[in-house]
Amino acid sequence: MSDALTDGRHFRILAVVDDYSRENLALVADTSLSGQRVARELDRVIAERGMPKTIISDNGTELASMAILKWVQDAGIDWHDIAPGKPQQNGFIESFNGKLRDECLNETLIGTLGEARKTLEEWQEDYNWRRPHSALGNLTPMEFLQRKAMDKMAA
């Protein structure tokens, strides 16, 4: 799982993506995102999807806060911070954030936080359910997960 914070117009966005399935697990927009809020959102994702082996993150202040350090210790998750100034170490989330900016944030006039959340929800649904990924054999993330589940049942 990868996560990063990206700036929206007047808000911050926490993006959480499963590197394996390319599924966007969370797009959380708010005027600010504390380490405690990030920890709550990660708890929600884990409750829904299970514990990841590793989380890779950038070095945003929220992701390097005492709240996150405590959360990582309590959760027992392997947390890997990319080196400062080395976004290529987390290339997938950087690519994801670029698509989010180019295809959603730069193309949409967003006036309120509510509009931002609705826009992100719609974009996330499109990204997960309708957008094929070449890295997944031109399947959408949800098709990829469904196929893996069927393969597992057949084995």
CA-to-CA distance for 145 and 133, rounded, in angstroms? 13
Work out the average pLDDT over 11-24. Answer: 92
Pairing state between β 12-17 and 2-7 = antiparallel
Work out the average pLDDT over 147-154. Answer: 88
CA-to-CA distance for 39 and 85, rounded, in angstroms? 24
State residue 3's pLDDT score: 43
State residue 52's pLDDT score: 93
Work out the average pLDDT over 58-70. Answer: 84
> Phi/psi zone of residue 111: left (φ > 0), alpha (ψ -120 to 50 degrees), beta?
alpha
Q: What angle do CA 116, 34, 75 make, to 5 degrees?
A: 115
Pairing state between β 54-57 and 2-7 = parallel
CA-to-CA distance for 74 and 86, rounded, in angstroms? 28
pTM for the structure as a whole: 0.87
Greatest alpha-carbon pair distance for the chain in Å reads: 50
Work out the average pLDDT over 111-136. Answer: 93
Give the sign of the dihedral formed by CA 36, CA 129, CA 135, CA 105.
negative
CA-to-CA distance for 34 and 51, rounded, in angstroms? 22
CA-to-CA distance for 51 and 80, rounded, in angstroms? 15
With bands split at pLDDT 50, 70 and 90, how would you rate the model's confidence at 31? confident
For residue 119, give the 3-state DSSP assignment.
helix
